[in-house]
Amino acid sequence: MIDGFTQQKITVDGVTLSVHIGGDGPPLVLLHGYPQNHMTWARVAPGFAKTHTCIIPDLRGYGESDAPMDDPAHETYSKRRMARDIIGILDALGYEGAAVLGHDRGARVAYRMALDHPERVHKLGIIEIVPTGDFWADWSADLAMKAYHWTFLAQDAPLPERMIGADPVAYIDWTLESWTLDKSLAVFSPDALASYRLQAQDPEHLHGMCADYRAGATFDRALDEADKAAGRQITCPVRFLYAEGGFPAQTGDPAAVWRSWAADLTTRSCVSGHFAMEENPQAVLDCFTEFFEA
């Protein structure tokens, strides 16, 4: 749980999603990444909640949301489908639109939501990614070593599921630790860490999380490439925050990649590993409070 927040279950297209809600003011959707859930926002959500109604779902396949079986085309875990989940949540809660802030996989859902449903996303905040199609296009041996999980998790089921499932806690601990600046689990609160470990021990969620990456390597990527070819743009204001010790910082010029998708872009960086909301919560709050309140 996040202090001061309440939990609701909302069913969208037969998939029941867990949503934590708190605060007061215009709606702000916060979307977590891999291998996490809503708990990654626990340190910053109370700050955002002073001026916004924060809506914090667990993506399908993660946390306390359902984790349906994937389909051969990986449409089930496409970012298009996950974005529709979030639209369904906004519909159920009676919001016409919202500001959306995403980290990691959640940021991929957030920008897909801005592309597919431009009228529903007023402002878009992105933490620690470049778009899926651009990331794959820039692949090299160096990147393949650092982001090995993109090719590993995208292997056909059930190999990654079985390998992770043999010792899920060791896998989760290693993954989290290796992406922090300090190479330490100490940055994660005990509650958050326990929730990340718990979801990885459930075979259905383990499958869902792998399927998220299978979709990234196929369905999501193809959609990005088609949008790029068609010259489609994100029309709302975009704020991009990257961590100095994270993935985008190692991929050339991430701000230039985002500028090719969004004319109204501002970029900031902060001292952190990949998990900026947990490693440097004040930087995340400062960066996006300024952006969403402007």
Residue 174 binding other proteins, by CB under 8 A: yes
* 159 belongs to the binding site for other proteins (CB under 8 A): yes
Question: Residues 77-88, buried b or exposed e (16+ Cβ, 10 A)?
Answer: bbbbbbbbbbbb
Choice among 32, 38, 52, 274 that is catalytic: 274
Beta-sheet pairing, 121-127 with 98-103: parallel
Query: Quick one: which of 24, 71, 91, 148 contacts other proteins (CB under 8 A)?
Result: 148
Q: Is 134 a catalytic residue?
A: no
Span of 61-69, 119-127, 141-149, 187-195 interacting with other proteins by CB under 8 A: 141-149
Q: Is 151 in the site for other proteins (CB under 8 A)?
A: yes
Select the span of 36-44, 67-75, 155-163, 259-267 touching other proteins (CB under 8 A): 155-163
> Which residues lie below 8 Å from residue 94, measured CB to CB, with a gap of 6+?
none
Assess 140 for contact with other proteins (CB under 8 A). Answer: yes
* Cα–Cα distance, 149 to 140 (Å, whole number): 14
Choices 27-35, 71-79, 143-151, 222-230 (CB under 8 A): range interacting with other proteins: 143-151
* Annotated active-site residue in 58, 70, 85, 104: 104
Residue 29 tokens, joined: 């959707």
197 binds other proteins, rule: CB under 8 A:
no
- Residues 32 and 148: their CA atoms lie apart, in Å, by 20
d(CA 264, CA 242): 17
Please say whether the beta carbons of 2 and 8 come within 8 A. Answer: no
Angstrom distance (rounded) from CA 294 to CA 285: 14
One residue of 5, 41, 62, 171 binding other proteins per CB under 8 A? 171
Phi then psi dihedrals of residue 9, to 5 deg? -110, 125
Contact between 225 and other proteins by CB under 8 A: the answer reads no
Report if residue 166 touches other proteins, rule: CB under 8 A: yes
Q: Indicate the residue among 95 and 152 with the shorter CB distance to other proteins.
A: 152
First-to-final CA distance of the chain: 30
Give the whole-angstrom CA distance, residue 283 versus residue 139: 29
Site for other proteins contains 164 (CB under 8 A):
yes
What does the binding site for other proteins look like in residue numbers (CB under 8 A)? 136-137, 139-141, 144-145, 148, 151-152, 154-155, 159, 162-164, 166-167, 170-171, 174, 178, 217
What are the catalytic residues? 104, 274
